[in-house]
Amino acid sequence: MTAPGTRDDAFTDVSRLLAPRSVAVIGASDQPGNVGGAAVRFFVKFAAPCAVWPVNPGRDCVAGLACYRGVRDLPSPADLAILAVPAPAVAQVVRECAAVGIRAGIAWAGGFQEAGAKGTALQDELAALCRQEGFVLLGPNCIGIIDSHMPLTASFASMMLELDHLARGNISIVSQSGGLATIAQAMALREGYGFRYMVSTGNEAVIGVADFIGAFASDPETKIIATYLEGVRDGGKFRRALLAARDAGKPVIVLKAGATQASAVAAAAHTGALAGESRVWDAVLRDCAAIQVDSLEELLDVAMQLSGADLTKRSRGRGVAAITFGGGSGVLSADQCDRVGLSVPALTMATREKLEDLVPPLASTRNPVDLTPQAYQNPQWFAHFPRALDTIAADPTIGTVFFQLGPMARGDVEMAKMVASFRERCLKPVLTAWPLVIPSALASLRADGVHVFPEYSRAVRTMGRLADYADAMTAPREVVAASPFDWAAHLPAPRAGQVISEHACHAILAGAGLPVAEGVLATSEDMAAEALHRTGTPVVMKGISGQVTHRAAAGLLALGLGSEIAVRQAWRTLQTRADRLKVTLDGILVQQMMETGAELLASAFRDAEFGVMLSLGAGGTLTELIDDVVLAPAPLSAAAAERALRRLRVMRKAGDQLRAVTDFVCRFSALAAAMPWRRFVLEVNPVKWTSTEARALDGLLIIEEP
């Protein structure tokens, strides 16, 4: 096996944890309930090929193995130390291990960060010690590592008590919850699937999920990577790990618990309402082609489907051929497909004509394709079945083929062989759901690597995830540079909470090469009237003040002004309104008004975990009326910007008219990516755009923390 984790300096080398030649179990005994002793017994039970050395000054042997009084007495420095000791003793054991040349360990004990302030201090001290000594520590508060191939049982998971062997598999899971990881492995075993690795990272004082995803990406025995996590400390490292797996052609399935609040939640901007909760995570996972799921059941459904699949066969579009032998299930699946962003399109007339002589007379070939029970009960039609399937799969509207089987009077195993053979030769993904499948047919399908879903909707849900994955994998990997913008020249001494009003924000945008609507900040009524003639009619007038960021709501906005009289009257009205609000105006912006075009909100903020994020949504008055928003990591290439825009509902009828607005979004994202502040919001709402131009009409910059 290639040593995992050694090909990239971004990830910690975890090879001694995953493939140790010798293991010291410190604190092991034969006392009931001793987790170290349980681990030693598992090593013996499953015949681990590594040397296993119990360490306990009060024991001569543990589980029949000779026990050593201390780590200094070991035959040689162990590759891996299991620290089966209470939390207060962990740091001292790390010191003792480091002193004799042991450089990797697993700490199972709880009582650290999860236990409050005192435990957090204990964990901080442990992490600092490990960094000082160059000690690679998994945990604390974890359940360890199981490798079904070696086998390695560096864990006290009670699941292994019920097993007589560890089933080998190609799915590796790394989880911040040991309980969920072992439940996942037990559930997979029940379905006939083994895991390659099960890794529980616990509190991640030193190493974490990203290090193991990086290791699995280079492990030839890992085909599918699954992970459960609640958060990451280094978002950049996590993204690099996902991209390493993407480049290796290994799907990463992510079950994320908890909501991540976007760091930019300024109430003064619309961005906070659009960017919060889990949308940052959604954007990052999509960008890295990870498959995000909502439950442990769904994680296993996707993993088990991919485990036996040819990963080069990805969905070619979102059309599904729903093949049934009874009409009701097909109608139901069509509805379910629609809910997950798939379709069940009518087969082309050419396909239907080819099927006429291949299916029973009562069959429906529109899609869902109801072949009726005669297709397998009548030998004449069953003989035509392979050609019928090939014909359906070849239809250009179809990206995935979905078998919906049910109880059969006879021929279950023959049908299973037919499905497996078709799946092997089909150039598109094939999924199979078969409630109440008989054991012999299920065994036949499993032997051929076909995963069988026990319920139709679970298969449909998985098809939706795999279609998203195919889309993400199709997107080219492009490296885009941030804009080389001189922020210090425009804002030399920003302060926390500073609001950069529209006229100054527009100057920044224009300085970065972004088109803005022409305008003049007027400080007198006469100056406003003169500005009208410079900008051309009609104009919009906006009261500018750092105290007010939502001008329309405050009544500091006048639209569609086409004469000097109207401008002068609006000046007086806006000044009166400001006085009533007790707001001091910097001036009134007289701005050219674009009367035609659609409106887009473009904003950016820095997320604490993943850096600068771009948020795109319905602009103008629609921003907070409809929940139509897409997030993406900045900066974006032209292709990525167009993909992001096309995910918006308001863009569905845009056709090929997006060139100008795509260019604006690209430039805007490059500018935002270069912003130097810890927390900020840069928002343009709206960007007015047509097929030929896109201009910023209303800009806002809030520096929350320089």
pLDDT single digits (tens) 334-352: 999 999 999 999 999 999 9
* Residue 273, pLDDT score: 43
What domains can you pick out in the chain, each with its CATH number?
A: 15-258 (3.40.50.720), 320-474 (3.40.50.261), 518-592 (3.30.1490.20), 598-705 (3.30.470.20)
| Residue 622 pLDDT grade (very low, low, confident, very high; cuts 50, 70, 90) | low
Instruction: Tokens 């903020």: give the residue.
Output: 605
- Residue 704 CA to residue 689 CA, distance in Å, equals 29
Q: Are 663 and 676 in contact (CB under 8 A)?
A: no
Average pLDDT over the chain reads 92
Confidence check: pLDDT of 665 > 90: yes
Q: Are 168 and 174 in contact (CB under 8 A)?
A: no
- Kindly report the length of the chain: 706
Alpha carbon 229 to chain centroid distance? 11
How much of the chain exceeds pLDDT 70, in percent? 95
| Residue 620 pLDDT grade (very low, low, confident, very high; cuts 50, 70, 90) | low
CB within 8 Å of 553: residues ≥ 6 apart? none
* Residue 652, pLDDT score: 81
CB within 8 Å of 542: residues ≥ 6 apart? 502, 551, 556, 557, 558, 588, 589, 591, 698
CB within 8 Å of 164: residues ≥ 6 apart? none
Write out pLDDT tens, residues 380-416. Answer: 888 999 999 999 999 999 999 999 998 875 679 999 9
Write out pLDDT tens, residues 504-544. Answer: 899 999 999 999 999 999 999 999 999 998 888 899 999 99
Q: Which residues are registered as beta bridge partners of 614?
A: 604, 632
Confidence check: pLDDT of 623 > 70: no
CA angle 448, 452, 457 (to 5 degrees): 155
Report which residue type is found at 95: R
Q: What is the 3-state secondary structure (H, E, C) of 275-327?
A: HCCCHHHHHHHHHCCCEEECCHHHHHHHHHHHHCCCCCCCCCCCEEEEEECCH
Confidence check: pLDDT of 653 > 90: no
Confidence check: pLDDT of 619 > 90: no
In 10 A of CB 153, how many CB atoms?
29
Alpha helices for 397-475 (secondary structure H): 412-425, 439-447, 456-474
φ, ψ at 173 (rounded to 5°): -120, 135
Determine the average pLDDT of the residues in 487-511: 90
Reported pTM: 0.91
Q: Are strands 144-147 and 152-155 parallel, antiparallel or unpaired?
A: antiparallel
Long-range contacts of 96-101 (CB under 8 A, 24+ apart): 96/70, 96/71, 96/72, 97/24, 97/26, 97/71, 97/135, 98/133, 98/134, 98/135, 99/72, 100/71, 100/72, 100/74, 101/77
Confidence check: pLDDT of 7 > 70: no
- Residue 694 CA to residue 480 CA, distance in Å, equals 21
Confidence check: pLDDT of 201 > 60: yes
Q: Are 217 and 245 in contact (CB under 8 A)?
A: yes
Integer-rounded Cα radius of gyration of the chain: 31
- Helix pair 412-425, 379-393: axis angle to 10 deg: 30
Confidence check: pLDDT of 662 > 60: yes
- Residue 217 CA to residue 207 CA, distance in Å, equals 16
Q: Which residues are registered as beta bridge partners of 51?
A: 22
